[in-house]
Amino acid sequence: MPPLFFKGFYMQQIKEILVGVQMLFVAFGALVLVPLLTGISPAVALLSAGIGTLCFQFFTGRQVPIFLGSSFAFIAPLSLAIGQWGLAATQGAIIAVSLVYLLLALLVRQLGTGFIDRLFPPIVVAPVIMVIGLSLAPAAANMAMGLSGDGSTMLFAKGPALAVAAVALLVTIVIALYTSGLTKLLAVFAGIVAGYTCASVLGLTNFAAVRDAAWLQLPPVTAPAFDINAILFLLPVALAPAIEHIGDIAVISQVCDKPFMQKPGLHKTLAGDGIAVAIAGCLGGPPVTTYSEVTGAVSITGAKQPRIMIYAALTAIVLAFSGKLEALLRQMPTPIMGGIMLLLFGSIAA
């Protein structure tokens, strides 16, 4: 074959790898925010998202351009479950949540998709999502003021904390409202960067742990345990992200102009999500499911090749082994998260 063909082929591969890395950063803000808010390791969250996405792509025959990430719907339940029963028991409950996806996949295969609309109409799903958003609003306000999430401990002085929270919140709002394209999808990520910069200027950061961390280290994977109370508590929460999954598949089908509901089939995409959730539970990460931000990014960039999501998944796995990145994320001042949470949970409720 002529040399120009090989040059064009390799340039196309490099372009797709770069787009795949970009897709990861589209999801990065929320992908990291969920574990930070729930006390789960960000490195394990990245590892879970990467491995979960690879399994999803394998299970669906590499047909759907989807990257899996942490669902906001699980923030409040995970926080409460970890506080009440510990991380190991919560992991067991997450594994049980995967059974909800697998059961829905089986029902869809047998009955089709019509029963979903009858079983979970908007008037049923909406109050659940509203409670998810509003239940953590007090924690967001406390963190924005420099307190711990429950308000019992002062971590930072109120004035500087409010300044940092305001910067993180305003940057996120401005980018979300007044930009377009891919930049709009990076609003949360930009808010975190701006908040971190402001916190550094005001002296609220401590990078000693980052300096001491190894460049390469194994993610702190933990083994699950099983507690019936934690399982029963977390199971109903699976319904909201499962319904969101159906919406995401419908949208990505329109974007790609392909009938993903029929091929590979909604039952296979639901099962792919279920397997990824189970993997996250086994590793100690938050549940990873289909991700609306990435669906929007596919629409904007036209990156409709599923292998691009595989490159994003491999990048997530590589970053999971960075000890310095793990330390940087764990040392993030709580006012940054508080400022973004005020917008985040209000948006979920709305």
- CA 253 from chain centre, in angstroms, equals 21
pLDDT band at 20 (very low <50, low <70, confident <90, very high): confident
> Residue 23 — very low, low, confident or very high, per pLDDT cuts 50/70/90?
confident
For position 120, what pLDDT does the model report? Answer: 67
pLDDT tier at 349 (50, 70, 90 boundaries)? low
CA dihedral 333, 334, 338, 340 (to 10 degrees): 40
| Mean pLDDT of all residues in 265-275 | 92
Report the share of the chain in percent with pLDDT over 70: 86
| Interval 135-153 mean pLDDT | 79
Residue 333, preceding bond cis, omega within 30 degrees? no
Cross-strand pairs, 289: 69
3-state secondary structure of 289: strand
pLDDT score recorded for residue 54: 95
The residue type at 123: I
Region 248-263 average pLDDT: 85
Structure confidence at residue 301 (pLDDT): 65
Rounded Cα distance between 195 and 267, Å, is 41
